[in-house]
Chain A
């Protein structure tokens, strides 16, 4: 059993100094790792990156993050990434990492992701070059996520994005802005590569719980949605027998359970 703490949309600014760290007091007792689902800063400045990095530095558990759209606003995302990495936070962009906990391996593949909408009401890479660039960005990140997920050699695999892979976790948002909140291309990538859990943020007024078409559990952990400092999800509870017993009718998981 591995316990995953997750939260998104910290949106740190100069007024956040000293306020983020206390929220993670005791996180090491509750969880084995911490996932941050993007929008770590408010306006994406290097200064805000240093502020959030200082707040997270020295937490005694692995901290894995993706960046969000706010972290890109000032064009200083590379500096923000460096500040986070200097503070011991691993930042994923179409990359994966495998961690080991008591002999069980947990892989995380992450990307910021992007928008475009959801099946039945989605944009295509058609027409103006600006439209092609918009959807092209989503396609590129979704393909990178799929490759990173598929490349994970781990008992349990998690997809970490900022933008939403499904519309179920957007319930509460205005329908008109769904295409700016996520893309089905992310879910399709996750279903194709297989995963045990997908975590995202970005949809501040959405809903916590959803599932992909392929049956992967999705959780929106934007802090305004969860109303907590973070949520803790448990994976790898089930024994091998349980999973074999349930395997029929499940379409997406290719991982094998780690626990005897």
Chain B
């Protein structure tokens, strides 16, 4: 995106993360947000597909001028393997 300095995009990352934490549709604190080549990259794991979409929606609202690249995954929950002896 033209006209955005590195410093401004750094603030924007923080604003996006803040929105993802506090927005009632998301409540996500541990996602990876990066701005590179004028695009917003989202990575990390969320609990459901609905939440993957909700995160993207919230980010688009915070920065409507940016292209959003949604690389979020939905947490895998395989059935457990053999138990581990710990004591």
Contact = CB atoms under 8 A, between A and B. Distances in A.
To the question of whether A and B form a pair in one complex, the answer is yes
Contacts of B81: 228
A73 B47 CA distance: 18
A16 B48 contact: yes
A201 to B, nearest CB: 11
Contacts of A94: none
Contacts of B44: 204-205, 224
Given A204-B30, A234-B84, A235-B86, A43 B24 contact: yes
Contacts of A30: 80, 83
A226 to B, nearest CB: 8
Contacts of A73: 27
A14 to B, nearest CB: 9
A238 B48 contact: no
Contacts of B51: 13, 15
Interface stretch (B6-14, B57-65, B70-78): B70-78
Contact of A233 (B48, B75, B83): B83
A197 B87 contact: yes
Interface in A130-166: 156
Contacts of A197: 86-87
Interface in A3-33: 3, 5, 10-13, 15-16, 19, 23, 26, 30-31
Contacts of B24: 43
Given A42-B47, A238-B87, A5 B75 contact: no
A70 interface: yes
A42 B27 contact: yes
A10 B75 CA distance: 10
Contacts of A192: none
B45 interface: yes
B83 A228 contact: no
A230 B27 contact: no
B85 A224 contact: no
B80 to A, nearest CB: 5
A229 interface: yes
Contacts of B18: none
A235 B50 CA distance: 38
A231 B47 contact: no
Contact of B84 (A15, A26, A156, A232): A232
Contacts of B76: 227-228
In order of increasing CB-CB distance, the 9 nearest A-B pairs are A232-B83, A15-B50, A196-B87, A204-B30, A43-B27, A224-B45, A229-B77, A42-B27, A234-B85
Interface of A: 3, 5, 10-13, 15-16, 19, 23, 26, 30-31, 42-43, 70, 73, 156, 196-197, 204-205, 217, 219, 223-224, 227-238, 253
Given A13-B27, A228-B79, 15 more contacts: A3-B83, A15-B51, A43-B24, A70-B27, A196-B87, A224-B44, A227-B78, A228-B81, A229-B78, A232-B80, A232-B83, A233-B85, A234-B86, A236-B87, A237-B85
Interface of B: 24, 27, 29-30, 44-45, 47-48, 50-51, 75-87
10 contacts: A11-B27, A73-B27, A196-B87, A205-B44, A224-B30, A228-B78, A231-B80, A232-B83, A236-B87, A253-B87
